Amino acid sequence: MQQLKRYGFRLMILSSFLLVLAAPMRWIAAP
Amino acid sequence: MLLLYFVAAGVAIGLLARGDLDRLAAVRVSWAPVAIAGLVFQVVLFSGPVSSAVGSWGPALYVGSTAIVLLALLRNLEHPGFRLIALGAALNLVAILAYGGQMPASVEAYRLLTGHEPVPSAGFSNSVVAPWGSPLLWLGDVFVLPRPIPLANVFSIGDVFIGLGGCLFIVRVMGGTPPART
């Protein structure tokens, strides 16, 4: 369980980098 | 959100190649809290009430927070795939800066994604719709992951590099040499 948390955390860090730099929160002209 | 497919693909390819998730757990990423804080900051920045309130500060806050996260990424270039992520991020940032702090998306890509004409957003958005032929638009969101595919969105060539870099990072780390046990 501890190990699961550790690599889950690494994936979260990586995803944070990717999500900020690729900015898919492009809520373009959301009505 | 195309990126989450790249992350999932990285884990799947890593497992198929008999990689080990435990090696992923052993990776040390410098300035990791900066990346997480940057994501939280931008989620708040683009939430309805805040995006309406930031006014003309929006582009600066967006570009500034992205630049800080890019700086954190550059502290980790020794990791596999991170140079590819940095290249993609730089391409995106060039397009964003060229459009005054917003990522340009082509009208055609927008129509293909939503099925209707662009409508102006109320608050600050990190994206702006631009007609085909606008300068540097080719670096913007000109590709479409169409509906009904989950996480449908428009995306850029930089996003593809970023996704491939993330996928490469996971695959290479999972298949790498296990860290020495002390």
pLDDT digits (tens, 9 = 90+) for B90-135: 999 999 999 998 899 998 998 888 888 777 666 777 888 888 888 9
Q: Which of A16, A28, A29 sits opposite B38 (nearest CB)?
A: A16
Q: Which of B96, B154, B162 sits opposite A18 (nearest CB)?
A: B162
- Residues B101, A26: Cα–Cα separation, whole Å: 12
A1 at the B interface (CB within 8 A)? no
Domain-embedded: residue B10: yes
Give the domain range for residue B110: 2-175
Domain-embedded: residue B8: yes
Domain-embedded: residue B73: yes
**Tally of structural domains, chain B:** 1
Domain-embedded: residue B51: yes
pLDDT digits (tens, 9 = 90+) for A4-17: 777 888 888 888 88
pTM comes to 0.87
**Average of per-residue pLDDT across B53-65:** 88
CA–CA min distance A14, chain B (Å): 7
Nearest residue of A to residue B128, measured between CA atoms = A28
Domain-embedded: residue B56: yes
